[in-house]
Amino acid sequence: MDVLINDFSVDGQFESVDDFVENLSTDILPLFRHFETTKCVVYKSFYTYDRLVTSDVKLIDILHLKGKPEIQRIKSRLSNLVSDEPFWQNCETSMVVDNFTVIFAETLKRNGLLLSFRHSDYSEVSIELAGDEIQNCHSENSGLNHLYNAELIDENYFYCKVKNGINIEFFTQDVKNHTQEIFNDTKLTYYDKQAIKNKLLSLIKHIVNGTDFANLSKNLSGGLWEFRCDITDTRTFRIFYVLKSKKVVFLNGFIKKTQQTPQKELDKAKQLAKLVK
């Protein structure tokens, strides 16, 4: 997937260089790592380096600031972000880069992803252009969501990397990832996975906030829980999990048309739960 930096999300909106560096460190550079992992290519315009971060400091100026250790640590990454190849446009189109529709239309043409810095005008996960929607990522979580929807990362990567306020683990035993196994079921459609994602993220949010999630999960014996989500063909997707003080560990799961939990799967979950540290 091609990723294009949204120049118009950098227009002097940051109150200070420190404010910009915080956005860079918290979201933009982690996104770069995810893009590298998934072999996405990040493109910029010839004028990205010339954008104003604050009212009087340009992106390129930050590379030359002295006495800021946090900038020194990310200097090479920042240099690649603002001045190194690749560029998305040729010399002819670079002359009209100030027309924002050019960047957005190019992203749409490539079926790519727009990468925006923190900006009130670009805080949504999609931007409309002439009736079409351009996918936009403005935070690490929104970027992970787009990568997951594009099937560039699997469930283990997505749920364990997304920031939820608690650690998420897929139980692995002797290199066998029991949780990912159920997601790899070929009978799960894209829409099934989206329904599961929405409910699973909602469950995690309830766990973090300490609010009631009885409609999403059932408390079994011995500290074992069972997450349930209705999917297509009147089936139910289920995953067993255990709660620890600072993490949720998902175990094995299954897909059934009946309400009865297979004893074999329940016994397996109990055995795996004993191995969770």
- Average per-residue pLDDT for the chain: 87
Instruction: Give percent above pLDDT 70 in the chain.
Output: 91
Of 117 and 98, the one with more pLDDT: 117
What is the pLDDT at residue 179? 92
What is the pLDDT at residue 113? 95
What is the pLDDT at residue 186? 75
Per-residue pLDDT at 24 exceeds 90: no
Within a 13 Å sphere around the CA of 98, how many CA atoms are in the beta-carbon half?
Answer: 3
What is the band of 48 on the pLDDT scale with cuts at 50, 70, 90? confident
**Nearest C-alpha neighbor of 116 from the set 133, 103, 106:** 103
What is the pLDDT at residue 259? 73
- At residue 132, the 3 state secondary structure works out as strand
* 4 phi/psi in degrees, rounded to 5: -110, 130
Q: Region 210-237: what's the mean pLDDT?
A: 89
Per-residue pLDDT at 67 exceeds 70: no
Per-residue pLDDT of 25-34, as tens digits, reads 899 989 999 9
Q: Give the CA distances from residue 198 to residues 145, 194, 224, 237, in Å, rounded to whole numbers and listed in that order.
A: 11, 6, 22, 13
Per-residue pLDDT at 98 exceeds 80: no
Per-residue pLDDT at 137 exceeds 50: yes
Spatial distance between the Cα atoms of 135 and 107, rounded to a whole number of angstroms: 9
Q: Region 196-225: what's the mean pLDDT?
A: 90
**Nearest C-alpha neighbor of 103 from the set 56, 43, 161:** 43
Per-residue pLDDT at 82 exceeds 70: no
**Burial (0-12, 13-18, 19+ Cβ within 10 Å), 148:** buried
Spatial distance between the Cα atoms of 125 and 146, rounded to a whole number of angstroms: 9
Q: Write out the H or E segment, with its range, that includes residue 4.
A: strand 2-5
User: Per the structure block, which two tokens stand in for 197?
Assistant: 């994602």
Per-residue pLDDT at 96 exceeds 50: no
∠ at Cα 184 (180, 187), nearest 5°?
A: 140
What is the pLDDT at residue 99? 62
Per-residue pLDDT at 125 exceeds 60: yes
Pairing of strands 2-5, 113-115: parallel
**Residue 55 CB neighbours (<10 A):** 10
Q: Which of 92-101, 159-168, 193-202 has the lowest mean pLDDT?
A: 92-101
What is the pLDDT at residue 95? 47
- Starting at the edge strand found earlier in the chain, the sheet holding 2-5 runs 41-43, 2-5, 113-115, 132-137, 126-129
Which one-letter DSSP state was computed for residue 174? T
User: Per the structure block, which two tokens stand in for 46?
Assistant: 């010839």
Residue-by-residue DSSP string for 196-240: HHHHHHHHHHHHHHT---TTTEEE-GGGEEEEEEEETTTEEEEEE
